[in-house]
């Protein structure tokens, strides 16, 4: 169940940093012939999907994706990701980053605005191709069991039959810590993020889907040695690393877009602040794009009501 009118109206009145809904672009990958609907919510990230022929009437369980992200010129560093459910919490997150000559990926799951732990559900990513040049890295992949997710008591889905999805993106310019093994990935706070409406046109679906999906034959696991069990929880590491992660001072989305602010006191935590002010965690995070909840900075001024 999605509360779309709420999400969409939030999207429109919280304009700063949000992509406009200009509809998708049609993009054909030359090497594979795969046709995508693509969206570019920021200059740093383009995401696209190709769906099975029936996906606009029957919810698809998989898609072929293209994720193209910028990296600092000449460096091939950083990481980027998409949330298949829009917000960061309780949605399937896909993180991708260049590592030497390959692009590694990891499915992640967040329950608070901590750095997310590994996702333990059935989502499976198989690569079709990847390219890394001086300014960008780009991955074509098949994502199976990626449009429905659950972990712990939470679950959700991205219903393609509605004709559009609400997706999230994030982008960082510094590379993950211990990135050689995606299962034990630790990422620092991203530089930039947002939520965007991903509307489909008839170019999103194609009868050739099965033959395109068959091109996904490359399972890229990175180098994990014997120590890491794929899917094992990294929450302990994530939490301890969060303490050393950069702590941007949380500031309201943009001056004038905040109707009410709150100053963080000792003992506060994000969920408490949201509840005390009658908003959801998602709203709190949306009003405060740079907010770091773990650790939450005492004295920081956060926006608790948008305009």
Q: Is 133 in the site for ligand NAG (CB under 6 A)?
A: yes
| Residue 272 to residue 281: CA distance in whole angstroms | 9
Q: Kindly provide the b/e burial profile for residues 155-192, where b requires at least 16 CB atoms within 10 angstroms of the residue's own CB.
A: ebbbbbeeebbbbbbbbbbbbbebbebbbbbbbbbbbb
| CB contact at 8 A, 13 and 256 | no
DSSP E strands, 110-216:
117-118, 124-132, 136-144, 148-151, 154-157, 164-172, 192-199, 205-206
- Give the 3-state secondary structure of residue 235: helix
Q: Is 203 in the site for ligand NAG (CB under 6 A)?
A: yes
| CB contact at 8 A, 152 and 116 | no
| Residue 284 to residue 44: CA distance in whole angstroms | 24
What are the phi and psi torsion angles at 39 (to 5°)?
A: -135, 145
* Sole binder of ligand NAG in the list 91, 105, 138, 283 (CB under 6 A): 138
Stretch that binds ligand NAG, among 115-123, 182-190, 199-207, 277-285 (CB under 6 A): 199-207
Q: Please, which residues have CB within 8 angstroms of residue 240's CB and are 6 or more apart in sequence?
A: none
> Minimum distance from CB of 97 to ligand NAG (Å)?
15
> Minimum distance from CB of 129 to ligand NAG (Å)?
11
Q: Please, which residues have CB within 8 angstroms of residue 89's CB and are 6 or more apart in sequence?
A: 110, 111, 112, 113, 281, 282, 285
> Minimum distance from CB of 74 to ligand NAG (Å)?
11
Cβ closer to ligand NAG: 45 or 183?
Answer: 45
**Cβ-proximal residue to ligand NAG, closest one:** 203
Cβ closer to ligand NAG: 26 or 233?
Answer: 26
Interface residues for ligand NAG in 41-80 (CB under 6 A)? 68
| CB contact at 8 A, 250 and 290 | yes
> Minimum distance from CB of 66 to ligand NAG (Å)?
9
Q: Is 127 in the site for ligand NAG (CB under 6 A)?
A: no
Stretch that binds ligand NAG, among 6-14, 51-59, 149-157, 201-209 (CB under 6 A): 201-209
| CB contact at 8 A, 266 and 298 | yes
Q: Is 202 in the site for ligand NAG (CB under 6 A)?
A: yes
Q: Is 28 in the site for ligand NAG (CB under 6 A)?
A: no
Stretch that binds ligand NAG, among 52-60, 130-138, 188-196, 259-267 (CB under 6 A): 130-138
Stretch that binds ligand NAG, among 83-91, 196-204, 230-238, 267-275 (CB under 6 A): 196-204
* Sole binder of ligand NAG in the list 40, 136, 188, 260 (CB under 6 A): 136
Q: Give the interface with ligand NAG as residue ranges (CB under 6 A).
A: 26, 68, 131, 133, 135-136, 138, 201-203
């Amino acid at each position: 169940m999605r509360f779309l009118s709420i999400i969409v109206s939030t999207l429109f009145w919280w304009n700063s940093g949000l992509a406009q809904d200009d509809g998708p672009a049609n993009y054909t990958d030359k090497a594979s012939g795969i046709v995508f609907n693509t969206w570019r919510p920021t200059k740093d990230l383009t995401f696209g999907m190709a769906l099975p022929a029936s996906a606009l009437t029957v919810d698809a369980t998989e898609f072929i994706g293209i994720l193209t992200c910028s990296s600092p010129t000449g460096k091939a560093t950083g990481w980027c990701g998409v949330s298949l459910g829009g917000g960061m919490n309780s949605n399937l997150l896909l993180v991708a980053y260049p590592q030497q000559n390959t692009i590694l990926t990891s499915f992640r799951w967040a329950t608070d605005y901590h750095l997310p732990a590994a996702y333990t559900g059935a989502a499976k990513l198989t690569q079709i191709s990847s390219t890394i040049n001086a300014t960008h890295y780009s991955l074509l992949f098949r994502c199976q069991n990626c449009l429905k997710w659950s972990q712990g008591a939470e679950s959700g889905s991205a219903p393609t039959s509605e004709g559009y999805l609400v997706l999230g993106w994030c982008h960082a310019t510094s590379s993950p810590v211990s990135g050689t093994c995606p299962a034990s990935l630790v990422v620092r706070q991203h530089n930039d993020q947002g939520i965007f409406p991903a509307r489909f046109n008839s170019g999103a679906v194609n009868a050739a889907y099965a033959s395109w999906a068959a091109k996904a034959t490359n399972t890229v696991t990175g180098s994990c040695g014997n120590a890491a069990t794929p899917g094992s929880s990294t929450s302990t590491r994530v939490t301890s690393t969060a303490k050393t992660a950069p702590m941007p001072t949380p500031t309201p989305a943009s001056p004038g877009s905040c109707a009410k602010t709150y100053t963080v006191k000792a003992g506060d935590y994000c969920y408490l602040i949201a509840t005390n002010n009658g908003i959801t965690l998602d709203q709190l995070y949306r009003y405060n794009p740079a907010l770091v909840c773990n650790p939450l900075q005492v004295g920081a001024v956060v926006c608790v009501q948008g305009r």
